[in-house]
C-alpha cells in the first residue's frame, strides 16, 4: 500500500469533523495491514497524523498500537 493512498484515506476521514474516530481508525488499520506489514511510508504517514493529533482518543489508541507493534517487530 502506498503512503499516498493512506494519506488520501486520512484526508477523507478528516473531511467530516476534523478528527479520526475509532471506526475510521479501524478502516485505516485495515488499509495499513492489508499486506501484513507496516511499510516505512505508512509508518511515516501514521506518525505524522499521530503527532498532529488528528485522532479522537479511541482512534489514537488503536493506531498508536499498530505503530508500536510494528516497531517491536523490528
pLDDT value of position 23: 95
Q: Please provide the average confidence, as pLDDT, over all residues in the chain.
A: 89
Domain ranges of the chain: 3-73
- In sign, the C-alpha dihedral spanning 39, 42, 46, 47 is positive
Please name the helix (run of DSSP H) or strand (run of DSSP E) that holds residue 57, with its range, or none. Answer: helix 57-73
Q: Whole-structure pTM over 0.75, yes or no?
A: yes
Report the alpha-carbon angle 58-23-27, nearest 5. 115
pLDDT value, residue 2: 53
Residues of the chain under the 50 pLDDT cut: 1
Query: How many CB atoms neighbour CB 31 within 10 A?
Result: 15
Amino acid at each position: 500500500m502506498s503512503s499516498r493512498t493512506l494519506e488520501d484515506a486520512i484526508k477523507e476521514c478528516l473531511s467530516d469533523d476534523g478528527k479520526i474516530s475509532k471506526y475510521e481508525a479501524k478502516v485505516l488499520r485495515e488499509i495499513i495491514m492489508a499486506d501484513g506489514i507496516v511499510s516505512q511510508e505508512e509508518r511515516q504517514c501514521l506518525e505524522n497524523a499521530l503527532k498532529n493529533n488528528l485522532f479522537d482518543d479511541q482512534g489514537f489508541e488503536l493506531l498508536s498500537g499498530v505503530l508500536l507493534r510494528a516497531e517491536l517487530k523490528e
